[in-house]
């Protein structure tokens, strides 16, 4: 599972940061959280305009959704036929109806779903829950929570119980009984799935701390530096230090700062947060956070430049003479 940061800026774009958009890739699924103006252009310039499975809007300030009507139209022009779900707070249906003149009649089914606070939507092996946060108007953060996984199979014990190595081992690992041997006889303790929490725009709030408890990655807005604490409070945003306080209290594994005001390059905010929470990163546009299963290591920030270098083909050797 990974997080791709298509836009990490706040309110207005800058030369270095686009408006809010985060792409979650899990197996073969692609889930977009927010769709600020220019999101499809950001994707085309980097990983491509992927065939999204769902879009989740945190709230209705324009910097978080204005890119959606154009993206829906682009999917239609590409002759998409697979249904697309768009989720968000109450009022989403009215917003989509008011912008229908932009995207018009679509060749695919558009399912608009308004969520109640704390409502969750079940996916394949995971759920996404709406977290009510403190911002102007109804606003949500989102938590993607994977289901627990079966424990590791003890192959020696399974063999002693008469199970032949091969496909039957796989059946036990998937939770099926083989002959008289049940999975609980040969599997270790359940292993936790992964959890990613994205704050959207918010002041520090208890609901987010509870939802983010022991998450692998907390993506928290950090619109302001510490000297703008009063302005953060008046605008229902957070400082980088406040985001770090949330991460520390929630005992997360990594904090990623986003929604960074155009007045900051990002490094200053990251330093302020790291004074309280060392495992803090400030992704730039097109950066990725890779999120392995807990037993396979910690989340890791991969810069776009590193990824391009890693994926570039090796130069062919030049023939001598």
**Which residues are part of the catalytic machinery?**
63
> Do the Cβ atoms of 37 and 89 come closer than 8 Å?
no
Collapsing DSSP to helix, strand or coil, 46 comes out as: coil
**Sheet order of strands, 54-56 included:** 110-114, 84-88, 54-56, 29-33, 21-26, 2-7, 288-290, 300-302
Nearest to 194 by CA among 297, 280, 121: 297
How does strand 195-198 pair with strand 140-146? antiparallel
Among all chains, which residue has been given the structure tokens 């938590």?
A: 143
> Do the Cβ atoms of 42 and 6 come closer than 8 Å?
yes
> Do the Cβ atoms of 50 and 40 come closer than 8 Å?
no
Collapsing DSSP to helix, strand or coil, 169 comes out as: helix
């Amino acid at each position: 599972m990974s997080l791709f940061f298509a836009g990490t800026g706040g309110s207005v774009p800058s030369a270095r940061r686009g408006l809010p958009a985060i792409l979650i890739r899990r197996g073969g699924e692609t889930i977009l959280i927010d769709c600020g103006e220019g999101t499809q252009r950001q994707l085309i310039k980097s990983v491509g305009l992927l065939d999204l499975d769902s879009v989740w809007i945190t709230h209705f300030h324009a910097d978080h959704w204005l890119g959606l009507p154009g993206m829906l139209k682009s999917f239609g022009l590409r002759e998409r036929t697979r249904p697309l779900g768009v989720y968000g707070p109450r009022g989403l249906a009215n917003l989509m109806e008011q912008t229908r003149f932009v995207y018009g009649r679509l060749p695919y089914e558009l399912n608009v779903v308004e969520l109640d606070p704390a409502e969750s939507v079940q996916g394949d092996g995971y759920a996404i829950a709406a977290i009510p946060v403190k911002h102007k108007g109804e606003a949500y953060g989102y938590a993607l929570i994977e289901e627990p996984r079966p424990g590791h199979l003890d192959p020696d014990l399974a063999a002693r119980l008469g199970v032949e190595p091969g496909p039957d081992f796989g059946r036990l690992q998937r939770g099926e009984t083989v002959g008289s041997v049940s999975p609980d006889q040969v599997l270790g303790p359940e292993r936790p799935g992964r959890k990613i929490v994205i704050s959207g725009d918010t002041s520090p709030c208890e609901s987010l701390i509870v939802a983010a408890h022991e998450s692998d990655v907390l993506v928290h807005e950090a619109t302001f530096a510490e000297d703008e604490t009063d302005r953060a409070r008046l605008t229902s945003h957070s400082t980088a230090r406040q985001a770090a306080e949330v991460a520390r209290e929630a005992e997360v594994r990594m904090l990623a700062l986003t929604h960074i005001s155009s007045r900051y390059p990002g490094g200053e905010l990251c330093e302020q947060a790291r004074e309280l929470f060392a495992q803090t990163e400030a992704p730039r546009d097109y950066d990725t956070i890779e999120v392995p299963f807990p037993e396979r290591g910690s989340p890791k920030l991969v810069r776009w430049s590193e990824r391009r270098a890693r994926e570039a083909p090796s130069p062919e050797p030049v023939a001598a003479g």
